């Protein structure tokens, strides 16, 4: 029988007032409809751990879609429902969302629904979950608001900080749980329980991960690489032998590990700059992991992960360009260590931010990191004040010289030859005059 205790006090203490009220509102609608309503999963786990998480998942014993529609009608929300899965999303006017699921619908097939049947239906639903720590449910109905349901020892595993599956076939049933186990372990600072770890090893030996579709594998990888500090999880994936399922040549060699760890530092630096544009952290880590892959191998890895061709084509060409640039920089530095801003601009211009941060992480030289830093934080924002219309107003006739003069003005800006609009205008006039005759002649041709 489940260990029930009330965590109503905790709900009152740890949640913002609005969130607490929302839980009560959900329970009230459940009371009115005669449906048992639970907050469930990650929300309850994090609540007990004292980790902020307002991502509330609700499970209704019975018809979750009906519940969602009734709740929405009373609280001015919209509903998006998925009939095939008996799930719904309640969308609040401010954009906040709550996922609503239904327990198994066998519930409807038994006419005289007894409380024990209801409870076993919730239990059945929870049994399909990944780990014990995710199986805790809190009742939201008025009379028993805050009552915790713990069928599988989730509270004890939270206490002992263990990630544990519910049964031996869990990873065979859904191999993506291998990645989820690592993700939760590393995020929460837990351990995968010894028996669960053995089950992972045997799942790996049985190659069950080969059965996971590319998109699902990619999705798990992305979720891991988006975690705050993914290096531990990467090390763990390598330890379990998971990387070769992405590509046989993918190994966490010491030099790759260096690039991966350096990636963490580069990203931390980037965040400190508070740059407005978001950077896809997972992409930088993915590039770092694949650092030693040849272009063909990288291509195969992307194909295994079902990365759409349109995207992967772009990634390959950027990756090739980036690695070529790095070689060019090394050669250039051997010739002369003095580098002009316009050269830096020229090297990095056109490469996505993720690729630049990867270059900074994989470069062994301090200078390269400094160049990337200068480009990202300053140079890429540099603009001329004159545009095409401005040049035309200064007397430049339409033609190919627009491009070359604009480029020349940008170089002057980057290298500090001109430092204000006045000087830029003077230089523009000089450039236009220098062979203005030629462009006029060309025009008349
Ligand atoms: P996160 O903070 O990463 O969102 P979460 O616990 O909310 O953590 P989700 O991936 O949003 O995780 O999943 C919600 C719930 O659904 C989990 O608590 C888990 O119990 C269940 N779940 C998700 N994926 C699986 C799976 N592959 N197998 C079994 N249960 C799963």
Name which residue sits closest to atom 6 of ligand 1, judged by CA: 42
What pLDDT does 48 receive?
96
What pLDDT does 312 receive?
86
The answer to whether the CB of 49 is under 6 A from ligand 1 is no
Structure tokens at 323: 């690695």
Asked if residues 174 and 63 have their Cβ atoms less than 8 Å apart, the reply is no
The answer to whether the CB of 41 is under 6 A from ligand 1 is yes
Q: Which of 41, 43, 101, 178 to mutate to test the pocket of ligand 1 (most atoms within 8 A of CB)?
A: 41
How many other C-beta atoms are found inside a 10 Å radius of the C-beta of residue 280?
A: 15
Dihedral sign from CA coordinates of 235, 240, 241, 245: negative
Q: State the closest ligand 1 atom to the C-alpha of 128, by its place in the atom list counted from 1.
A: 29
The answer to whether the CB of 174 is under 6 A from ligand 1 is yes
The answer to whether the CB of 264 is under 6 A from ligand 1 is no
Average pLDDT, the chain: 90
The answer to whether the CB of 354 is under 6 A from ligand 1 is no
Percent of the chain with pLDDT over 90: 76
Could you tell me the distance, in angstroms and rounded to a whole number, from the CA of residue 321 to the centre of ligand 1?
A: 38
Q: How far apart are CA 279 and CA 234, in angstroms?
A: 20
Mean pLDDT of the 249-273 span: 93
What pLDDT does 6 receive?
92
The answer to whether the CB of 42 is under 6 A from ligand 1 is yes
Name which residue sits closest to atom 2 of ligand 1, judged by CA: 42
The answer to whether the CB of 299 is under 6 A from ligand 1 is no
Q: State the closest ligand 1 atom to the C-alpha of 131, by its place in the atom list counted from 1.
A: 20
Q: How far apart are CA 312 and CA 307, in angstroms?
A: 6
Structure tokens at 170: 């869990």
According to DSSP, the residues that pair with 40 across neighbouring strands are 57, 137
Q: Which helix (H) or strand (E) holds 421?
A: helix 421-434
Q: Which domains does the chain have, with CATH numbers?
A: 5-160 (3.30.460.10), 161-245 (1.10.110.30), 250-381 (1.10.3090.10), 388-444 (no CATH)
Q: What single DSSP character describes residue 397?
A: P
Q: Is residue 58 over pLDDT 90?
A: yes
Could you tell me the distance, in angstroms and rounded to a whole number, from the CA of residue 178 to the centre of ligand 1?
A: 13
Could you tell me the distance, in angstroms and rounded to a whole number, from the CA of residue 68 to the centre of ligand 1?
A: 20
Percent of the chain with pLDDT over 70: 92
What pLDDT does 445 receive?
40
Could you tell me the distance, in angstroms and rounded to a whole number, from the CA of residue 180 to the centre of ligand 1?
A: 8
Q: How far apart are CA 285 and CA 221, in angstroms?
A: 10
3-state secondary structure of 52: coil
The answer to whether the CB of 413 is under 6 A from ligand 1 is no
What pLDDT does 109 receive?
46
Q: State the closest ligand 1 atom to the C-alpha of 135, by its place in the atom list counted from 1.
A: 20
Q: How far apart are CA 104 and CA 106, in angstroms?
A: 6
Q: Is residue 163 over pLDDT 90?
A: yes
Instruction: Report the range of poorest mean pLDDT among 64-68, 201-205, 325-329, 432-436.
Output: 432-436
Long-range contacts of 117-123 (CB under 8 A, 24+ apart): 118/36, 118/61, 119/2, 119/149, 121/61, 122/36, 122/38, 122/59, 122/61, 122/149, 123/2, 123/151
Q: How far apart are CA 266 and CA 49, in angstroms?
A: 30
Q: Which of 129, 152, 177, 190 to mutate to test the pocket of ligand 1 (most atoms within 8 A of CB)?
A: 129
Asked if residues 103 and 62 have their Cβ atoms less than 8 Å apart, the reply is yes
Q: How far apart are CA 86 and CA 104, in angstroms?
A: 9
Confidence class for position 2, pLDDT limits 50, 70, 90: low
Q: Is residue 99 over pLDDT 50?
A: yes
Mean pLDDT of the 215-233 span: 95
The answer to whether the CB of 154 is under 6 A from ligand 1 is no
The answer to whether the CB of 147 is under 6 A from ligand 1 is no
Interface confidence (ipTM) of the complex? 0.96
- Would you tell me the crossing angle of helices 436-444 and 421-434 to the nearest 10 degrees? 60
Q: Is residue 424 over pLDDT 90?
A: yes
Q: What share of the chain is helix, strand, coil (3-state, %, to 5)?
A: 60, 10, 30
The answer to whether the CB of 125 is under 6 A from ligand 1 is no
């Amino acid at each position: 029988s489940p260990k029930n205790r009330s965590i109503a006090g905790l709900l009152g203490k740890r949640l913002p007032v609005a969130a607490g009220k929302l839980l009560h509102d959900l329970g009230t609608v459940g009371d009115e409809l005669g449906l048992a309503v639970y907050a469930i999963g990650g929300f309850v786990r994090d609540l007990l751990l004292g980790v902020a998480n307002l991502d509330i998942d609700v499970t209704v014993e019975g018809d979750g879609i009906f519940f969602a529609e009734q709740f929405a009608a009373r609280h001015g929300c919209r509903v998006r429902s998925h009939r095939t899965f008996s799930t719904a999303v309640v969308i609040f006017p401010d954009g906040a969302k709550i996922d609503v699921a239904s327990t198994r619908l066998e519930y409807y097939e038994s006419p005289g629904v007894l409380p024990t049947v209801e409870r076993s239906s919730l239990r059945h639903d929870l049994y399909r979950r990944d780990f014990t720590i995710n199986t805790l449910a809190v009742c939201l109905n008025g009379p028993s608001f805050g009552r915790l349901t713990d069928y599988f020892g989730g509270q004890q595993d939270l206490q002992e900080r263990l990630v544990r599956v519910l049964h031996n076939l869990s990873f065979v049933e859904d191999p993506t749980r291998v990645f989820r186990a690592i993700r939760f372990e590393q995020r929460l600072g837990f351990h995968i329980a010894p028996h669960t770890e053995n089950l992972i090893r045997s799942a790996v030996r049985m190659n069950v991960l080969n059965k996971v579709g590319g998109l699902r594998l990619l999705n798990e990888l992305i979720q891991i690489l988006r975690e705050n500090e993914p290096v531990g999880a990467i090390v763990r994936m390598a330890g379990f032998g998971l990387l070769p399922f992405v590509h046989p040549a993918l190994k966490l060699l010491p030099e790759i590990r260096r690039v991966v760890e350096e990636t963490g530092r580069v990203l931390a630096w980037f965040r400190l700059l508070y740059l407005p544009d978001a950077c896809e952290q997972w992409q930088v880590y993915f590039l770092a992991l694949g650092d030693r892959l040849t272009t063909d191998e990288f291509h195969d890895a992307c194909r295994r992960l079902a990365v759409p061709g349109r995207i992967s084509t772009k990634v390959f060409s950027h990756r090739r360009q980036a690695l070529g640039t790095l070689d060019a920089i090394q050669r250039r530095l051997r010739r002369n260590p003095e580098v002009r801003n316009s050269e830096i601009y020229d090297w990095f211009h056109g490469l996505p931010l993720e690729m630049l941060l990867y270059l900074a992480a994989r470069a062994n030289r301090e200078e390269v990191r400094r160049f990337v830093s200068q480009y990202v934080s300053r140079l890429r924002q540099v603009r001329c004040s004159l545009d095409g219309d401005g040049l035309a107003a200064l007397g430049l006739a339409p033609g190919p010289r627009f491009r070359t003069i604009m480029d020349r003005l940008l170089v002057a800006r980057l290298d500090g030859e001109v430092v204000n609009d006045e000087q830029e205008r003077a230089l523009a006039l000089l450039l236009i005059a220098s062979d203005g005759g030629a462009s006029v002649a060309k025009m008349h041709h």
